[in-house]
Structure 1
């Protein structure tokens, strides 16, 4: 565990308005979900499958034989698939300037891109001599209509992300200011004031940092390294309270620190482990946090032993919220798994590096 910051340096940095090295600076930006955030693999896969399903159904009209349907479906796919990918690439590349537009113009831009993509697909087939005559107007109209549905899906996804993040933030804020956690921390600091004033100030500093991040305007994502610093501050507080009952083991891979996570995601997992592993046990518990980078994937594990009679069910209250936020950020590129075996509970995350 990292040593507590020097109290004197903390006081000076606070007065000067600077941050202690290793601290997380609050992000002043408001939480905004980009409508045209089409850069996720999950969004691309769903868009392609949707358009191909529409093409497959459309190819059924005017065909009575399976072979005729396959030929027409293949022909249409030759134009529709490149057009769809072109629309997705454009939406991904232009998501920042498009996000600055008002909602009505965002819709207009998305539908216009769809019409252009439809013309692009029609042009590809016409150049290959597969469409005679080329249905330019029909292709533009079809592209605009399909892009309308895709934009509607992206708008729904963006709107779904913001309430989920807001609800998650409120839940975590309540967790961070649980009365008994606050009172126990203050009592620990009071007990240290006379005997070890420097350690008491360090405890209050860690508590202040937790509250600052719980109350700060959340960003869409932070780095795993920042989340680790915050979790270390939380465990430094709990170490004062539980002493030898809390045994923490860190196994951190520096190559994994830049992976993106929703803010305040790791700390609730660590807090969950303390609440259900250390608190109910008179002998305490072991807590292990590990990070590993494996190619383009980062694996994060939070493991804790549990006393006899405490099972997996006690861990479920906070985990559904964490799982939902992680999937909203990384979609199909993220995995969230839990396991309970032989008195040991583990949360395992897989996120893009």
Structure 2
């Protein structure tokens, strides 16, 4: 098959890979069409429930303190217990209602969702208050379900509920908005850093093919096929995180391209441990590490060399170690060092995982080693 036909095959495969994704590639900060961001926070989390319980108990203490009495009397502690139980019932019931109705409320316009959540909290307060009255009547503590203080009891409860729930809703919404904005900014930074690597990878692959076109056309044809398969894999992975196996497959395709260019000067020794299905890592994590090892190590050595790649899982962490030989003497006009070329990768990890990820490098006895530690899950984004 002629080289031109191979090139057309590459284009056809790229088009097929783009169609296989079922959607166009979106810009960094653009959400998928028709997807409405969640306005109300998740009220089912342990953090929200804990905060609600703490605020409810503080409110119970304040109410108990403002009741006129002798504070040294034993009834003060009994009153605090009863008030705490009642307020906790109201608080936890309201949180549970918002927890189960959140997915429906978030389908509404933001103002309507906020108003509906607020009314649900007031309705919950009324229902719990009414249940308390009926419970006291069933236990024989009241002679009627409509005692003289019935109206005042509901008015006071609803007034306090309206004030406290309004403040809490505003607090939770502000915190949720801040977290959403921070997450969006982190995603944008991550995509921006990733976009620096993708074009560089494409241009580097095209340069490999260009260098082989005239001197070794057969290898160039094989490179086009590998490149078509590689890009098809990349186009079908729109997620930020991919399984470890997928990332290894992409890297091996890249190494096949480099092996065509470097011939027998490149040897890669793989040592891959077993990973659970939940193990994921950012797209194009391994490939830049291997490219760095080839660019600053193997290419500079006349006889080439071997790159040792080891991946293993330990204590819910993904460990990656890439080691390559370095030339004894380096050109004085070198624009970058192996460590400097890793800055983009380090920034990607920091944007995605924060302090949970680490990338370190060391040079010893003519060997340059890069060690990466990542969480086995990608929960931050």
Which TM-score applies when normalising by structure 2?
0.61
Q: Does 1:34 align with 2:41?
A: no
Instruction: Please list the CA deviations of residues 90-123 of structure 1 after superposition, one character each: whole Å capped at 9, or x if unmatched.
Output: 4454444433322222322332333334445545
1:12-161 alignment runs, 5 A limit: 29-30=32-33, 33-38=37-42, 44-61=45-62, 62-63=64-65, 75=82, 77-81=84-88, 83-119=90-126, 122=129, 126=133, 129=136, 133=153, 135-141=156-162, 142-161=164-183
CA distance in 1, matches of 2:76, 2:318: 49
SS in 2 for 1:285: strand
1:247 and 1:125, CA in 2 relative to 1: closer, same or farther beyond 3 A?
farther
**Where in structure 2 are there 5+ consecutive unaligned residues?**
1-5, 27-31, 66-70, 142-148, 299-304, 327-336, 363-368
| Cα RMSD after superposing both structures | 4.8
Q: What residue in structure 2 maps to residue 233 of structure 1?
A: 250
Which TM-score applies when normalising by structure 1?
0.65
Q: What residue in structure 2 maps to residue 305 of structure 1?
A: 322
Deviation at 1:26, TM superposition (A): 5.7
Instruction: Please list the CA deviations of residues 244-303 of structure 1 after superposition, one character each: whole Å capped at 9, or x if unmatched.
Output: 3443444454x615x7x6xxx5224324533555543344532334569x9xxxx45141
Instruction: Please list the CA deviations of residues 324-348 of structure 1 after superposition, one character each: whole Å capped at 9, or x if unmatched.
Output: 4458xxxxxxx93437598561313
**Where in structure 1 are there 5+ consecutive unaligned residues?**
1-5, 328-334
Q: Is the 8 A contact 1:189 1:204 kept in 2?
A: no
Q: What residue in structure 2 maps to residue 169 of structure 1?
A: 191
Whose radius of gyration is greater, 1 or 2?
2
CA distance in 2, matches of 1:11, 1:52: 60
Q: Is the 8 A contact 1:312 1:345 kept in 2?
A: no
Q: Does 1:204 align with 2:227?
A: yes
SS in 1 for 2:308: strand
Q: Is the 8 A contact 2:270 2:309 kept in 1?
A: yes
Q: Is the 8 A contact 2:90 2:125 kept in 1?
A: yes
1:166 and 1:93, CA in 2 relative to 1: closer, same or farther beyond 3 A?
farther
1:123 and 1:169, CA in 2 relative to 1: closer, same or farther beyond 3 A?
farther
Aligned length: 317
